[in-house]
Amino acid sequence: MSPIHDQTYRHYEGRRAPLGRSWLVIVRAGVRGLFSRKAFLGLLLGAWVPFIARTIQIYAVTMMPQAGAVVPIDAKMFQTFVETQGLFVFFITIYVGAGLIANDRRANALQVYLSKPLLRMEYIGGKLGILLTFLLAVTLLPAVLLVLMQIVISGSFTWISSHAFVVPAVILSSLLRVLIAAFTMLALSSLSKSARYVAILYTGVIFFSEAVYGVMRLVTGSTRVAWVSVTGNLDVVTDAIFFSEPRYETPVIVSLIVLAGLLVVSISILERRVRGVEVVA
């Protein structure tokens, strides 16, 4: 081997992806890394059990219409399905999201990332992409497939033509849950260097807001205060999306404003925290 100073520096002359594609590298690396963890694969597979159960329900009702009196195939079933998947959204958000930025901060890697031809938005987009990939795989994907299963098993478009709103409803409600969870978690992950602490923080945000709502409901005797709870707001908007009877007295517009506010706060935190150099003024 010859000494380093004897080696002439040569510029790379091969092909190079243009600026703006690096976020895909981050997504691919993140997704690949998580697929190699058996515990996580188990969690992903578990998230599809409700889909299998609902498919069996659709099959049973199609074969024996009288079963529809007990377990009807209606918009409410699809709404319940989306809400059930919320449990898996919670666990996957914690498992995947807690360390997304926190681990980079712990390894001092943010400065390295941002001294590459990579926009800050690309870095955040890449991290968001990892979380969204898995969250959509347990919400939007099974929900849309369930609608397709209804069409395939019944062998006609009769049901779907009379419940046409179910398709946009499952898409909208799934996206809403996924986006709120992903942005909130990413913002929290940018606040700390410890993934464990971020996981506790996220759990705290969800359960503490629910507990505050429980106390306020007892004090006021009204469900109008559900806007203080993250899950309460999601339920209020989901009820509106599915045209189902509201479970809370909170106006939909109030819940929408709270959820939009949560998104704005999360984006603002990310804008402030995702920097190569931390400036303490």
Q: How far is the CB of 190 from other proteins (least distance, A)?
A: 17
Q: Is 112 or 265 the residue whose CB approaches other proteins more closely? A: 112
Q: How far is the CB of 51 from other proteins (least distance, A)?
A: 33
Under 8 Å between Cβ of 49 and 146: no
Q: Is 195 or 240 the residue whose CB approaches other proteins more closely? A: 195
Q: How far is the CB of 38 from other proteins (least distance, A)?
A: 16
Q: Is 4 or 218 the residue whose CB approaches other proteins more closely? A: 4
CA dist list (Å): 52 to 56, 137, 145, 166, 175: 6, 14, 11, 19, 21
Token readout for 91 is 């666990």
Q: 26-60 burial string, b = 16+ CB within 10 Å, else e? A: bbeebeeebeeeeebeebbeebbebbeebbebbeb
Locus of tokens 């033509």: 161
Q: Is 21 or 247 the residue whose CB approaches other proteins more closely? A: 21
Binding site for other proteins (CB under 8 A): 1, 4, 7, 12, 14-19, 21-22, 25, 29, 103, 107-109, 111-119, 276-277, 279-281
Q: Is 245 or 278 the residue whose CB approaches other proteins more closely? A: 278
Q: How far is the CB of 114 from other proteins (least distance, A)?
A: 7
Q: How far is the CB of 224 from other proteins (least distance, A)?
A: 44
Looking at residue 14, what DSSP letter applies? S
Amino acid at 1: M
